[in-house]
Amino acid sequence: MSDVLILGAGMAGLGAALALQARGRDCVILDRTGPGQETSHGNAGILQSEASEPYALPRSPISLLRMALGEGNALSFDPLALPAQAGALLRYWMASHPARYARAAALYHQLISTALGAHAPLIAAAGADNLIQRDGYWEAYRSERALDAAETTARRMARTYGHPYTIFGSESLQRAEPAVTGKLAGAVLWSGPWRASDPGGLVQAYARLFEQRGGSIVTGDATTLAPHGAGWKAGGVEAEQVVIALGPWSPALLRRFGYRVPMVAKRGYHMHFKGAARLNRALVDAERSIVLSPMRQGLRIATGAELSRKAAPHPRQMRRGEKAARELMDFGPPLEKAAWSGTRPCLPGMLPLIRQAPRHRGMWLHFGHGHQGFTLGPVTGERLARAMTGDISAIDGLDQGLH
Ligand SMILES: Cc1cc2nc3c(=O)[nH]c(=O)nc-3n(C[C@H](O)[C@H](O)[C@H](O)COP(=O)(O)OP(=O)(O)OC[C@H]3O[C@@H](n4cnc5c(N)ncnc54)[C@H](O)[C@@H]3O)c2cc1C
């Protein structure tokens, strides 16, 4: 029997497994596919050390309406999907109240500000340096007005959290990124963040490190999870304790054990495109809510959030995102026939859920990393491992949102 069975081999699962292993725990990871094949593969690849403030819902009815009408392509939704998410969205809106939001952001900042420090030794030990660029990303704007507002925000973020940034005007941005031929007013260069040129590849490198250090990864179905003696069993693996790190699939499993976790499932899409013109850094087209990320596979265009019941075969956000990106630079045809889609596991309180399940001994939860789980997996994994090995204060404030 192993000490800990970790369900899910995304960035959250690997982050937890490596941190537990470092504390002497004998761990097995179970996944139905393989490491880094799902959300932790399909993201924009930015290790977002500047994202100290999580995404809140706008509080004013006008801003909410604009968002709902698809302004800026940030959000698209299927009205039929709303009833299923109404409770979670209401909680999200309530948690976005300035006083509650400030408390969540303070804790979020603590996590984000230590995230690169948690990745660094893993990247080095996994020999994954070739996948990492350490020169930040562009938050680009089309209009002068939006750029001015972004500069004000950047100044506040620098003053409050110390995040380094530089403002580039249209011409200096063009010199730095000659592949961008479309008209931009300029950009905020956030120079602190890092970027992975193959996000799934980074998770797979962490998985190899976990195995080299004595861990094992097995293929199996987490929905077979059941109590077994004094411990747990799933997919034929027995362990004293279990960690649920199934990202967007976690609430469905927990429901079977009588727990209700409202989740705002924000779907995102991406496609890769062929093309000679290359960006030097990832570029967020902030007014069109797309990220253009140079990846090993080609230019990856990733979209904003879609609230829908199932992935659209011809997603509107992806079509609009591709069109917007083509206004900025020249690139070739898509490399895939259909867009990839995945779901950001967003909890209404905007913080990941890390705690022991209140009514099940030895069951721990580690999911709900929302928009920044690729960044946060190792640092919250560290917090979880500290809590599981006796320092329960490590997860103070991260235990909300379970009913
Ligand atoms: C378009 C997009 C862009 C993003 N950009 C960024 C970014 O730039 N930076 C950033 O930090 N974050 C980003 N994110 C968010 C980030 O990708 C997620 O928060 C993170 O990947 C979640 O990791 P996870 O390990 O919790 O989930 P996952 O990576 O989805 O892992 C869950 C695992 O559970 C497994 N699983 C599910 N069900 C079962 C089952 N029944 N049995 C066995 N295994 C099962 C799956 O196979 C999967 O491997 C983005 C997300 C999207 C969608």
The residue type at 176: A
Strands 231-234 and 226-228: antiparallel
Pocket probe for ligand 1: among 39, 255, 364, the residue whose CB has the most ligand atoms within 8 Å is 39
Architecture field, domain 65-78+132-197+264-342: 2-Layer Sandwich (3.30)
The Cα 159–Cα 157 span in angstroms is 5
**Secondary structure of 306-336 as H, E, C letters:** EECCCCCCCCHHHHHHHHHHHHHECCCCECC
Ligand 1: distance of its center to the CA of 348 in Å? 17
| Residue 230: count of CB within 10 angstroms of its CB | 9
Superfamily covering domain 2-46+113-130+199-259+348-395 = FAD/NAD(P)-binding domain (3.50.50.60)
What are the helix and strand counts (H, E) for the chain? Answer: 12, 21
Cα 370 to middle of ligand 1, angstroms: 9
Q: Give the binding-site residues of ligand 1, using a 6 Å CB cut-off.
A: 8-13, 30-33, 37-40, 42-46, 48, 221-223, 245-247, 249, 268, 270, 302, 342, 344-345, 367, 369-375, 377
Give the tens place of pLDDT for each residue, 47-91: 999 999 999 987 766 666 677 666 666 677 777 777 888 899 999
Which of 132, 138, 197, 246 gets mutated to test ligand 1 (max ligand atoms within 8 A of its CB)? 246
CA atoms of 204 and 114, how far apart (whole Å): 22
Question: Residues 90-120: pLDDT tens digits?
Answer: 999 999 999 999 999 999 999 999 999 999 9
Residue 276: how many other CB atoms lie within 10 Å:
8
The span from the CA of 236 to the CA of 323, in Å, is 48
- Residue 379 CB burial class (10 angstroms; 0-12, 13-18, ≥19): buried
* CA 39–ligand 1 middle distance (angstroms): 3
**Closest to 164 measured CA to CA, from 54, 47, 49, 53:** 49
For residues 293 and 309, give the distance between their C-alpha atoms in angstroms, rounded to a whole number.
27
List of the chain residues with pLDDT < 50: none
Residue 338 has what DSSP assignment? Answer: S
User: Contact, 273 vs 298, CB < 8 A?
Assistant: yes
Q: What is the pLDDT of residue 69?
A: 64
| 251 three-state secondary structure | helix
Among 32, 43, 223, 365, residue to substitute to test ligand 1 (most atoms within 8 Å of Cβ): 43
Which residue has a Cα nearest atom 35 of ligand 1? 8
In angstroms, the CA 140 to CA 149 distance is 12
Asked whether the domain spanning 65-78+132-197+264-342 has the same topology as the one spanning 2-46+113-130+199-259+348-395, the reply is no
Q: From ligand 1's centre to the CA of 252, what distance in Å?
A: 15
CA of 155 to the centre of ligand 1 (A): 31
- The whole-model pTM stands at 0.95
Domain ranges of the chain: 2-46+113-130+199-259+348-395, 65-78+132-197+264-342
**Locus of tokens 């507002």:** 149
User: What is the CA angle 372-395-120, rounded to 5?
Assistant: 50
DSSP-derived 3-state class of residue 183: coil
Q: Give pLDDT, residue 403.
A: 73
* Average of per-residue pLDDT values in the chain: 94
